[in-house]
Amino acid sequence: MGQTTIPAVVRDAAAKFGSSEVLVDGGVRLDFRQLLERVQAVAGAFAARGVLPGDRVAINLPNTHHWVLSALGALYAGAVLVPVNTRFTAAETVDLLVRSRAKALVVAADFLGTDRFAAIKATGAALPGLGTVVRVPLEQPHSPVEGTLGWDEFLAERVPAADVEARADAVQPGDVSDILFTSGTTGRSKGVLSSHRQVVDVAAAWAECGRVTADDRYLVINPFFHSFGYKAGIVVALLTGATLVPQAVFDVRATLATIRRERISVLPGAPTIFQALLQEADRGDTSSLRLAVTGAATVPASLVRRMRAELGFDTVLTAYGLTEAVVVTMCRPGDDAELVARTSGRATAGFEVEVRGSEVVVRGPNVMFGYLDDPEATAQAIDEQGWLHTGDVGELDDAGYLTLTGRLKDMYICGGFNVYPAEVEHVLTELDGVRDVAVVGVPDERLGEVGKAFVVGAGLTTEQVIGFCRERLANYKVPRLVEFVDELPRNASGKVLKRQLR
């Protein structure tokens, strides 16, 4: 590919793919040249508002063209991208803004009925470094809010084009490109630092495994705030010339209509998405579908076979990744349904994969630099030989295919999102009447797994426990089930025996 910074990739794509369509979002349809122009405009606007190279720009938006333009514009201006999970509560979002020392925030004015910035302000948190807030109206016309800019207002003031290009030229492959926050087992999220070169390399490897080309039309349901949506989505399209079609909220009928209307060929997502598509009786024509990439939960071989037979996918691949390394293993076209279902594929993107004891460890040029302002956690995660300890339990076969068998840290996956019980337990210990609590993942037909809280306490109801979590945690982290117990089973050293609870 040759281009190892994201600004270089954006320019290169404009030169290579020119007038081909790159981004389709409702009435917005941009080709690669127009995308470059819009990205340059956003970069110029960030620079005009005082965002300097290395400053952090947070984006709290669903999958829309605004996310793509804001992210690429920030990176083009030499800033560091901080994607914010749109499911986070205001308190969780404030924590990210404070810890990343964000200088600018691009936020949805009205997503799913909530004014995100009003909720952030209502927390009363001091954010002295946050100089620029851009409120993007998605559902209603823009109503001005003091201290914030509308999207058009933001774009109205820019530095000269030559300054913007100088900023893009100055970005180096080894510079930090983004900080993606992952939930920590201690209940506090950790900011994962990656470089431009790493982002480009993992995207190129993903594209190669999936054989993505300029003929592909790629429906992105995976959130852009995840490495799957951003790195294996936006950056893959820039490298290959594929067309991106973002979807803000998964709705099975809308998804099928988009597949038909836009002739979608590439559709990655959690297994739940494909199960939902298969449950629709009136699917219409899905013959354009070519490639599905799934993972993050158990994938039955029957699902792989049905995706091929009934949805028309030629290729269904499973993959394994984590924020700290993005994509580590991936199946390859031609792998049979059993192999695809049983394993997460073999090493890609220059990774070495080993199983030590039972833990999966990985090493390679695309392992993160470390965690933001947390040398202790970084040292725990990456050993002196450069091996990243994933906390996942797995096995390797003779051909190097990885099968994940469990998770060291009791993490479970609800609807494709990682949930760390420690974080939920941490919140529940603050509820009056809770003396002790443990959370485990239990199987759920629709979401894969959901949380079940075992609570030791007096005078509480299931509704109170769930309601308390709803106010403080993203929806996917909220336990669906509550059981009141007299005591939790513990071992001699006082550790809760979660296996017994499951």
pTM of the model: 0.85
Q: Render pLDDT for 325-378 as a digit per residue (tens, 0 to 9).
A: 999 999 999 998 889 988 999 999 999 999 998 899 999 999 999 999 999 999
Strand pairing category for 243-246 and 217-220: parallel
Q: Using alpha carbons, select from 285, 279, 231, 312 the residue that is nearest to residue 68.
A: 231
Length of the chain as a residue count = 502
Section 316-331 average pLDDT: 94
Angle between helices 252-262 and 271-279 (to 10 degrees): 90
Model pLDDT, residue 24? 98
Q: Provide the edge-to-edge strand list for the sheet that holds 402-407.
A: 352-356, 359-363, 388-396, 402-407
Q: Render pLDDT for 214-263 as a digit per residue (tens, 0 to 9).
A: 999 999 999 999 999 999 999 999 999 999 999 999 999 999 999 999 99
In the chain, the domains with their CATH numbers are: 7-11+39-173 (3.40.50.980), 250-407 (3.40.50.12780), 412-501 (3.30.300.30)
Please compute, for residue 323, the number of CA atoms within 13 A of its CA located in the half-sphere on the CB side.
Answer: 21
Specify the 3-state DSSP secondary structure of 89.
coil
Q: Tell me the C-alpha distance between 42 and 31, whole Å.
A: 16
Strand pairing category for 315-320 and 329-330: antiparallel
Q: Using alpha carbons, select from 249, 247, 255 the residue that is nearest to residue 284.
A: 255
Task: Answer yes or no: are the C-beta atoms of 254 and 33 closer than 8 Å.
Answer: no
Q: Render pLDDT for 188-215 as a digit per residue (tens, 0 to 9).
A: 789 999 999 999 999 999 999 999 999 9
Q: Using alpha carbons, select from 499, 25, 351 the residue that is nearest to residue 218.
A: 25
Q: Which two tokens stand for residue 23?
A: 């981004």
- Give the DSSP H or E segment for 289: none
Q: Which residues pair with 68 in a beta bridge?
A: none
One-letter-per-residue 3-state SS of 393-437: EEEECCCCCEEEEEECCCCEEECCEEECHHHHHHHHCCCCCEEEE
